[in-house]
Amino acid sequence: MDNKSFWSLLIIIFCAFQGILGQTCPQSCVRCVVDGLGDVTDVTCSDSRAFQLIPKTVQHLVFQNGSLPNGIVKDFLFLGISELESIEITNYHLKELWGAFLLNCTDLKIMDFSNNEIHSIMKSNFKGPVALEILNLEKNHINLTTDNVFENLGFLKKLHLGNNLIQTLTHNTFEGLINLQILDLSRNKISYMDGHTFQSLSKVKNINLSYNRIRNIPSGLFNGLSNLKMLQLSHNTISTISDNAFVQAGVITLDLSTNQLTKIPTEMLQQISGNKTEVLLQRNNIRMLQKNSLSNIELKLLNLASNGMDMVENDATYNCKIKYLNMRQNMLTTLPETMLIYLNSVIIPQVFLSTNPFVCDCDLIWLGKFLYQKSWKNIPKCSKPIELSRLNIVDYYNQYDTSCLTTTEEITTPFSTSTSRDLSPSSTNTQHDNTTSQPISSSQRQTTPSPTDSVNTKNNTSC
Ligand SMILES: *[C@@H]1O[C@H](CO)[C@@H](O)[C@H](O)[C@H]1NC(C)=O
Ligand SMILES: *[C@@H]1O[C@H](CO)[C@@H](O)[C@H](O)[C@H]1NC(C)=O
Ligand SMILES: *[C@@H]1O[C@H](CO)[C@@H](O)[C@H](O)[C@H]1NC(C)=O
Ligand SMILES: *[C@@H]1O[C@H](CO)[C@@H](O)[C@H](O)[C@H]1NC(C)=O
Ligand SMILES: *[C@@H]1O[C@H](CO)[C@@H](O)[C@H](O)[C@H]1NC(C)=O
Ligand SMILES: *[C@@H]1O[C@H](CO)[C@@H](O)[C@H](O)[C@H]1NC(C)=O
Ligand SMILES: *[C@@H]1O[C@H](CO)[C@@H](O)[C@H](O)[C@H]1NC(C)=O
């Protein structure tokens, strides 16, 4: 007898066996649903002995909290169960999947083998369930070293590989997944990806690469992924992003927080620029906003909080349109007046600046005036000089504006020639009529120029 007829015979015997024994609910199963025709359609079990008794009419099969001998799913386990639409074997100490163990399950849409100890998968594992739409293999020990494993899964929409041991991704890894929309690779050990890793995934919407060991984003990696909406790269050690990694990428939300970037990835921001785009860069090491680093960039949100940033260069925000700009919890002592052009060009921009050690001197008075005019909430505080640390930047503007106006030529701060005792407002101090701050007593009040009047006398050198 040749190999083929041997297997055919085995299948026939197996099917006959099933025909006799397999049409009722396995006794030890916790749940069993029978349809109007008397066929068992849903089975949920724990006891592994029930594997021998699975009714062949079953459509939804669940095994949880048990184990198979040696953790092996043998290749004839599901033979003849051809109406299967979903299979879940979770928390079952599975280690190995033998060949085409789902060969006859051509209607299978959902396969959940998460929470096991599977160490490798092969292309033949997916020979058969060609209509698969959801494949969940998270929380296993998969290293994914085999090329083209998913090649047969042209209808797959969701692939969950989070919490495995994946280290390397190449252009062969996801070959054939032309309908994939969601790819979860979070919490692996990925440190290398070649630039064509995602090239087959033209429909992908969401890629999660957070909690890996990625150090750089190679050229080409996300090029052309025009359907990409959410890309998560947080909690890696990314320090470089190739200038050609996001060409024609459609990212709307890009999370690059908690990485090791030292400068703004300007090329990348220009490539994904758009009025809905949100980019998270908090908790990196971007110490400086360099000249033109945000030039020609339109974003809904840019989060630069907690970067240890202590310098914003002139014209860093030249021709930039960012609606929400978060620069909280940095080391900023001042901001260049060129930012006014940006702040005035965006409709109701929200710039978050609290928790920075601002030095309230004449260089920053423009910001107090701007915030005063816009009546913003969350006005940042003065940190230095120490005598002003009770004030916020708007209070500072209200009280010290004219001292800057009258002395700009010789003196850059109202305090440079005075001791802290002299700080009580005198002839140089201005009090605007309605401020949120505690006004200085009205007896000390002098003339009250309107805020718009007061700036026009001092020309902005950078404009
Ligand atoms: C498996 O364990 C989980 C958590 O304890 C429980 O919710 C579930 O019902 C169990 N499944 C079976 C089939 O016993
Ligand atoms: C299982 O699938 C193989 C290949 O498509 C086919 O030859 C065989 O007849 C099927 N067996 C059953 C029991 O459906
Ligand atoms: C994973 O596969 C790579 C080869 O791509 C190998 O170098 C590495 O040792 C493997 N890691 C584990 C944990 O098996
Ligand atoms: C991405 O993965 C992380 C870590 O597993 C998780 O916390 C986060 O919710 C995931 N994001 C999405 C959108 O599923
Ligand atoms: C965003 O831009 C699109 C065109 O690019 C425009 O139609 C839409 O009104 C803009 N939305 C906002 C909120 O500015
Ligand atoms: C000043 O008064 C105007 C009108 O009464 C009000 O809209 C504005 O919010 C006030 N500004 C401040 C800083 O309180
Ligand atoms: C400010 O600039 C305008 C034109 O740019 C000029 O007319 C005006 O005299 C300048 N004011 C001062 C105080 O330099």
Question: What's the pLDDT tens digit per position in 404-435?
Answer: 765 444 444 444 433 333 333 333 333 333 33
Query: Rounded CA gap, 366 and 393, in Å?
Result: 10
Task: Provide, rounded to the nearest whole percent, the portion of the chain with pLDDT above 90.
Answer: 60
Report yes or no: 224 and 249 within 8 Å, Cβ to Cβ.
yes
The partner residues of 253 in beta bridges, in order of sequence, read: 230, 278
Query: Rounded CA gap, 424 and 403, in Å?
Result: 12
pLDDT surpasses 90 at 440: no
Report yes or no: 313 and 338 within 8 Å, Cβ to Cβ.
no
Determine the length of the chain: 463
Confidence grade of residue 345 (pLDDT, cut at 50, 70, 90)? confident
**How far apart are the CA of 208 and the centre of ligand 4, in A?**
6
Nearest bound ligand to the CA of residue 255: 4
Beta carbon of 167 within 6 Å of any ligand 3 atom: yes
Determine which helix (DSSP H) or strand (DSSP E) holds 352, and give its type and residue range. Answer: strand 350-352
Determine which helix (DSSP H) or strand (DSSP E) holds 231, and give its type and residue range. Answer: strand 230-232
> Using alpha carbons only, what angle is made at residue 220 by residues 218 and 225, rounded to the nearest 5 degrees?
125
Query: Rounded CA gap, 399 and 391, in Å?
Result: 10
Nearest residue CA, atom 10 of ligand 3?
Answer: 143
DSSP string covering 247-296, please? TT---SEEE--SS---S--HHHHHHH--TT-EEE--SS---EE-TTTTTT
Res 348: pLDDT:
62
Confidence grade of residue 358 (pLDDT, cut at 50, 70, 90)? very high
Query: Rounded CA gap, 270 and 299, in Å?
Result: 9
Q: How far is CA 398 from the centre of its chain?
A: 41
Report yes or no: 446 and 427 within 8 Å, Cβ to Cβ.
yes
**Which tokens go with 290?**
């360099």
Region 165-186: mean pLDDT is 96
Region 22-45: mean pLDDT is 85
The partner residues of 60 in beta bridges, in order of sequence, read: 42, 86
Report yes or no: 332 and 355 within 8 Å, Cβ to Cβ.
no
Beta carbon of 416 within 6 Å of any ligand 6 atom: no
Res 376: pLDDT:
74
Confidence grade of residue 383 (pLDDT, cut at 50, 70, 90)? very high
Residue-wise pLDDT tens digits, 64-93: 999 988 888 887 888 888 899 999 999 999
**How far apart are the CA of 342 and the centre of ligand 7, in A?**
21
For residue 162, the ligand 4 atom closest to its alpha carbon is 5
Name the phi and psi angles at 88, rounded to 5: -130, 120
* Residue 7: HSE in the Cβ half-sphere, 13 Å Cα cutoff: 7
**Which tokens go with 96?**
């190995």
Res 349: pLDDT:
63
Beta carbon of 146 within 6 Å of any ligand 3 atom: no
Only one residue has tokens 């080391």, namely 331
- Which distant-in-sequence residues (6+ apart) come within 8 Å of 152 by Cβ? 123, 126, 127, 130, 176
Tell me the average pLDDT of the chain: 83
For ligand 6, pick from 371, 375, 395, 432 the residue to mutate: most ligand atoms within 8 Å of CB: 375
DSSP 8-state class, residue 421: G
**How far apart are the CA of 118 and the centre of ligand 3, in A?**
14
pLDDT surpasses 70 at 392: yes
pLDDT surpasses 50 at 446: no
**How far apart are the CA of 172 and the centre of ligand 5, in A?**
38
